[in-house]
Structure 1
Amino acid sequence: MPHPKYFDAHNHIQNYSGPCEAGAGRAGLILLNGTAPDDWQKVLDLAAADERIWPCFGLHPWFINKAGPRWLEELELFLKRAPSCVGEIGLDGAKNTGAKRQEEVFTSQLKLAARLRRPVCLHCVKAWGKMLKIIKEELPGTFMLHSYGGPAEMIKEFSALGAYFSFGSAIMDPKRGKLREALLTVPPDRLLFETEPSYFAKASKGRGPAKLLSSEANPSSFAKASEGRSPAKLLSSEADPSSFAKASEGHGLPVLISAAADVMGRPAQELAELSWVNGIKFLGDIVDVNSKE
């Protein structure tokens, strides 16, 4: 059976030291998200060096107070230098960078995305109501809620506005019942997966692989997805975010998607193929699929 293509909806490999292996793996695509003006050039350079990588440029809410006065002009210039998305941008109620300033920066980037007709990769923490309100007002077009952590009840409203929903390794945690409920609520044609290290990184800091390999997370399916590379190796004490990025060359996304498939009661390969098709639809006119196959 041929290997499915993998679409990695979100990562920051520009932050890793040493050789970077794109999490999209075999014949796949990865959306590499910038966060501030000081990493946009590196994002562009990595995309130019690896055809699997599609760049995203944006000012993340964590870093809005570090950007210079002409950051929005710089952002537009980068977006025009390559087929690209706007991201990572959004709102973060847990970060003290000023709610009003966050909203101003967020709104200005949504307007830019709409004008340039670019897909948007969104970050949202503890600001879901405000996020929904602004999206309704600005209607940027295609957008993705990365590492979705909002209520399952809000998925219908976001979906009606054109949202895609990306899930990361946190869905492997059997204690995250509400997150798994959200996963099951997302319309299948809006579902994406990402390898931004989160739960994997936590596992490497003392939580241990055993917790990831509960009865709800079938080790045999992980082993099959990883082609014999055991989850223990992927989630060992050596599995810091950078090593996970390297390990994800054809392995990280299969492990994650296999876990999601177990939760959803669907074949892992079917889910991988579905998320690939969804990812290409999310990118829309900015991607020529044939050039990546």
Structure 2
Amino acid sequence: MSYVDAHVHLHEDPSLIEKDFLIVAVSDDLESSIKTLKLEGVFKCVGIHPWEVEESRESDLKKIEELAESAHCLGEVGLDYRFVKNRERERKFFEFFLNLSREYDLPMNLHALDAWREVFDLLLKYDIKRAYFHWYNGPLDLIEEITSQGYYIGINAAIKIQKKHLRVLERAPLKAILTESDGPYKYRGITLKPSMVREEIQKIAEVKGISAERVKEVVLSNLRSWLNLSLL
């Protein structure tokens, strides 16, 4: 049974592909979206990361809309209230992708750093059916609201060194969890990569008190539901 990495910046390093993995490749801007769509053997997301909103042009949005017809999902998109200063512009870009998700019925691979509630509220406002909160580290009391809508919570391989993230895992139901690495992002001196999900699965199994195989089975089912795949 395959492992799942639901969030990898594979356009930065295609060698991160693992044979026994199902990988969701996300993009950062128009250029990387084009690169992502050329990758083989992975699920592909197109979009503009909140960190790239300032450098991206509004004309890029129309081009990404054209690319979306060949994509499995939209991402990495969302809001960032910690590092992005121009909130009006990033919200404008995010609302474009919310409309795109609704129009094309594409699931969203979300960045919501310090904007967890705002992103969640916008999903409801735009009637988004399928969404995934990448590397969720938001309020614990928001988890139940997120999962009650059928949205998914991202558990990252950095859980072994991030105590707050462990509390998220403890609170989030397994039926709402997707595993990820966010590779090749560097976090606290560690370069994250899909292979680390193997150890992450063991940690989830330990916390939930079930077998690693059962964790893999449920996460795979979650991926299938999020991407609306009838077969894997």
Deviates more, 1:194-203 or 1:105-114: 194-203
Correspondence 1:77 to 2:57 = no
* Offset, 1:254: 1.3
Asked if the contact 2:46/2:71 (under 8 Å) is kept, the reply is no
> Could you list the per-position Cα deviations for residues 121-174 of structure 1 after superposition, in whole angstroms to 9, with x for gaps in the alignment?
00011112222221221121100000011111101111222210111122112x
User: Are 2:227 and 1:289 equivalent residues in the alignment?
Assistant: no
| Aligned positions of 1:97-246 closer than 5 A | 97-173=85-161, 176=163, 178-197=164-183, 201-204=187-190, 240-241=191-192, 244=193
Stretches of structure 1 that go unaligned for 5 or more consecutive residues are 205-239
Equivalent-residue separation in structure 2 for 1:89 and 1:164 (angstroms): 15
Q: Select 1:66's aligned residue among 55, 61, 80.
A: 55
Asked if structure 1 preserves the Cα contact closer than 8 Å seen for 2:81 and 2:115, the reply is yes
> Counterpart of 2:2 in structure 1: which amino acid?
K
- Which is further off, 118-127 or 178-187? 178-187
Cα distance in 2, alignment partners of residues 13 and 97 from structure 1:
27
TM-score, normalised with respect to structure 2: 0.92
Structure 1 residue 179 displacement after superposition? 2.1
Once structures 1 and 2 are overlaid, which stretch shifts more, 29-38 or 159-168?
Answer: 159-168
2:15 counterpart residue number: 20
- Residue correspondences, number: 232
Which structure has the bigger radius of gyration?
A: 1
Structure 2 stretches of 5 or more lacking a match?
Answer: none
SS at match of 2:58: coil
- Structure 1 stretches of 4+ with a deviation exceeding 3 A read 197-201
Q: Equivalent of 2:6, from 5, 9, 12?
A: 9
Aligned partners of 1:6 and 1:276 also within 8 Å:
yes
Shift of 1:6: 1.3
Q: Secondary structure at the match of 2:74?
A: strand
Letter in 2 for 1:193: T
Q: Which amino acid aligns with 1:96?
A: V
> Letter of the aligned partner of 2:32 in structure 1?
D
Decide which structure has greater strand share. 2
Q: Is the 8 A contact 1:118 1:142 kept in 2?
A: yes
Whole-Å separation in 1 of the counterparts to 2:103 and 2:3 = 30
* RMSD of equivalent CA atoms: 2.0
Question: TM-score by structure 1 length?
Answer: 0.74
Sort the Cα spacing of 1:91 and 1:193 in 2 relative to 1 into closer, same or farther, 3 A.
Answer: same
2:32 alignment partner in structure 1: 39
Partner Cα distance (1:131, 1:61) in 2: 12
Tell me the amino acid that sits aligned with residue 17 of structure 2.
Answer: A
Q: What amino acid maps onto 2:121 in structure 1?
A: K
Distance 1:83 1:38, change over 3 A: closer
Q: Which of 202, 209, 213 is the equivalent residue of 1:269?
A: 213
- 2:43 pairs with 1:92: no
- Sequence identity of aligned pairs in percent? 25
Letter in 2 for 1:129: R
User: Which string of whole-angstrom CA distances, capped at 9 and with x for unpartnered residues, describes residues 199-232 of structure 1?
Assistant: 975344xxxxxxxxxxxxxxxxxxxxxxxxxxxx
Please give the alpha-carbon distance, in whole angstroms, between the structure 2 residues aligned to 1:74 and 1:280.
28
Structure 2 CA distance for aligned equivalents of residues 36 and 136 of structure 1: 25
Distance 2:176 2:145 in 1: 13
**In 1: Cα distance, 2:128 partner to 2:169 partner:** 24
